[in-house]
Structure 1
Amino acid sequence: MYDAFFGLSDRPFQLTPDPRFWFDTATHRKAMAYLGYGLAQGEGFIVITGDIGAGKTTLVGHLMERIDPASLNAIRIVSTAVRAEDLLRIVADGLGVAPEGKSKAELLLAIERGLHAVARSGRRTLLVVDEAQALPVSALEELRMLSNFQAGGHAMLQIFLLGQPEFRERLNGSERLEQLRQRVIAIHHLDPMGADEIAAYVAHRLQVAGWQGRPVIADDACAAIHAASDGVPRRVNQVMTRALLHASVMQADTIDAALVAAVMADQGVELPAPVAPSVVVEPEEDAVAIAPPVEEAAPRAARHDEHALDARVATLEARIAEQDEALRRVLTLLMDWVEKDAVPEALRGAA
């Protein structure tokens, strides 16, 4: 809905990683520099870690677009707790070797032959493993063994591991991974964006999607977006998607701090924070309780509860009014589409 309202050719803040929207934040520039250094070495392991939504998968997509397939054969694996032998089968398949019915020894021999075949074509092989924190130690050990394959004194396989922060902690803290740790030639952790990077990030993604200046992004909006997202790219995308949708429903041409605050308030309504249980503290035997008489405390508590209830009712009524207004605008837009015979295919099918 909002892309048509603002004249955008695409949805700029979709959650699915898309290399077209790659943006060079300071931390992503460092990551690409480490990757460039590691690939130039042609051996060992490169490790990139980051929190959920930090842009690891987008980084891989950007790397894949820049790789020359004439010089580098890239195999990509998204790990979901793959066992060691299954991992070998995936690598063999990526090398064009049929893994069916082969024992572990046969798989290793087939992988080595596949790597030699790639090397004879003048290329190196890069194995990219995403979600590496899910791999068992046995699978990581198999990866280390694969990195031993050489031809003419040069490694035939280089391995790029991406994972969440716990993978880095596991790599540094496990004695069983000492040999793998010694083969890591480059490592970097993706940090969140700084507050000063939000405006450029938002503008870049909007421009890729055909932004012509609508909506206007107010100066105070970027600070609010950073506060709401902690600078994590995926969270920024979530906040901006909600803000664009809210602005289109309200027919607003400007996204400012007040609109972002309204969006976050709506999100709070959908996902209410849990209420902490009350704690009853039993007085010690020797303690002296100092409290107003019961006849004075009860009316005071009643007045407090009454004021709190009135305030809550007023807040709920204001939210209901705002939601009613938003619903009327949505229905108006739908009626306009029906009258112009421009109902989306998804809605026609549902009808």
Structure 2
Amino acid sequence: MYTDHYGLTGRPFQLTPDPVFYFDSGTHKKAMAYLGYGLAQGEGFIVITGDIGAGKTTLVGHLMATIDRARLTVVRLVSTQVDGDDILRLTAQGLGVATEGMAKAQLLDRVERTLHAQTREGRRTLLIVDEAQNLPVAALEELRMLSNFQAGGQSLLQIVLLGQPEFRDKLQKDDNLEQLRQRVIATHHLDPMEPEEVGPYLVHRLTMVGWSGTPTFTEDACIALHTLSRGVPRTLNTLATRLLLHGAIENLSVIDADAVAVVAEDMGQDSERADAPADLSGHPLLDRVAALEAQVEEQDIVLRQVLTLLIDWAKDDGKPQRPGSPRRAARR
């Protein structure tokens, strides 16, 4: 609906990671520099961490779009709670190695042979493991062992680990991961966007789908959006999508902080997420969001009353109740 209203060719703030919409924020620019340095070394581990929705997957997608895929074989895994043997088999499958009925020793041999073949063809191999915080120590150790494969002093496999902040803590503090820590050649934690980056971020994504300048976002709207999203791109995308829908319904050409406040109420934003900076004190956004908890509680009470009436009606097969019955009393 809002795409037609504003003449857009697509959805600028979709939640599905898409490298086409990659935005070179300060923290993402640093991450790309570390990734570039790490890949140039051609060995060891590169570790990128960040909160949920920080843009890790989009970052890697952008990286893949900028490298020469003819010279680099990329295997991507999204890990779950898998043990060492499972991560080995997943890696082998990603390399096109059959795993059914194979003992671990045979599988390791097949994987090493495949990596050697890639090297002889002038191709390097990169393994990207997402959600690395889910991996037990045994699986991480298996990955470390895979990184030992070499030919003529050159590493056959380089590994990128993507994870949430708890993975960074685990990697730093777990004594069982000392050998893996020594193999990490580059690491970066994706921080939230800065307040001044929100406006350019919105414009960048809108421009990618044919934005003609309408709607515009005021400075106070950008400040409010940063406050509510805390600078997390995925949360910001969710808010921005709802704002465009609200703008289309209300026929807005300018989106300001009042519009953000209305959308925040509609989305059920908790007042604790509206910890505004000092220069927002007294802003209508804060008053509206602060009142939200009471509004939600009132709606909850009404909903429970309606559900009670429906349950009573079902129990009575929809028959009318005599005066003074509990159900009729509930209607008064």
Normalised-by-shorter TM-score class = 0.7 to 0.9
1:92 and 1:114 in contact (8 A); partners too: no
Distance 2:271 2:58 in 1: 31
Residue pair 1:19, 1:62 contacting (<8 A) in 2 also: yes
Residue of structure 2 equivalent to 1:241 = 241
Matched to 1:160, the amino acid is V
What secondary structure does 2:63 align onto? helix
Give the whole-Å Cα distance in 2 for the aligned partners of 1:163 and 1:68: 25
Q: Which residue in the other structure is 1:334 paired with?
A: none
Counterpart position of 1:219: 219
The equivalent of 1:7 in structure 2 is 7
Name the counterpart of 1:35: 35
Give 1:49-68 correspondences, 5 Å limit: 49-68=49-68
Amino acid at match of 1:24: D
1:63 match: secondary structure: helix
Partner of residue 174, structure 2: 174
Tell me, in whole angstroms, the C-alpha distance in 1 between the residues paired with 2:77 and 2:7.
Answer: 37
Taking the aligned partners of 1:169 and 1:196, their CA distance within structure 2 comes to 29
Partner SS, residue 268 of structure 2: helix
Task: Give distance in 2, aligned partners of 1:219 and 1:167.
Answer: 36
Equivalent position of 1:198 in the other structure: 198
Provide the residue aligned with 1:97 in structure 2.
97
DSSP 3-state at the match of 1:145: helix
Code of the residue aligned with 2:20 in structure 1: it is R
RMSD value, Cα: 1.8
**Corresponding position: 1:124 with 2:99:** no
Deviation per CA, 1:121-177, whole angstroms, max 9, x where unpaired? 011110000000001111000000000000011100000000000000000110110
- Give the deviation of 1:219 after TM superposition: 2.1
Structure 1 residues 262-281: aligned runs within 5 Å: 262-268=262-268
Q: Which runs of 4+ in 1 moved over 4 A?
A: none
Residue 97 of structure 1 deviates from its aligned partner by: 1.3
| Counterparts of 1:187 and 1:65, CA distance in 2 | 21
- Equivalent residue for 1:337? none
Give 1:179 deviation, angstroms: 0.3
User: Relative to 1, partners in 2 of residues 1:204 and 1:272: Cα closer, same or farther, differing over 3 Å?
Assistant: closer
Aligned-pair CA distance for 1:268: 2.3
Q: Take 2:96 and 2:152, find their aligned partners in 1: how far apart are those partners?
A: 22
Structure 2: which amino acid aligns with 1:210?
A: G
Matches within 5 A, 1:302-341: none
Partner of 2:329: none
Separation (CA, whole Å) in 2 of partners of 1:195 and 1:272: 19
CA contact (8 A) 1:194 1:231 kept: yes
Map of 1:158 onto structure 2: 158
Residue 268 of structure 2 corresponds to residue 260 of structure 1: no
State the distance in 2 between where 1:83 and 1:197 align. Answer: 40
| TM-fit CA distance, 1:272 | 8.9
What is the alpha-carbon distance in structure 1 between the residues aligned to residue 67 and residue 142 of structure 2? 25
1:114 alignment partner in structure 2: 114
Give me the whole-angstrom Cα distance separating, in 2, the residues matched to 1:114 and 1:66. Answer: 25
* d(CA) in 2 for partners of 1:85, 1:67: 30
1:141 is matched with which residue? 141
Give the secondary structure class of the aligned counterpart of 2:170. Answer: helix
**Counterpart AA for 1:166:** E
TM-score under structure 2 length normalisation:
0.81
Distance in 1, matches of 2:150 and 2:216, equals 56
* Corresponding letter in the other structure for 1:257: A
Q: Distance in 2 between matches of 1:70 and 1:11?
A: 31
| Structure 1 counterpart of 2:265, one-letter code | A
Superposed CA offset, 1:213-265 (max 9, x none): 11122222111111111111011101101111111111111111110011112
Code of the aligned partner of 1:51: D
SS at match of 2:23: coil
Contact 1:34 1:187 in 2 (8 A): yes
Query: Distance in 1 between the 2:177 and 2:219 partners?
Result: 48
Please tell me the residue identity of whatever aligns with 1:198.
V
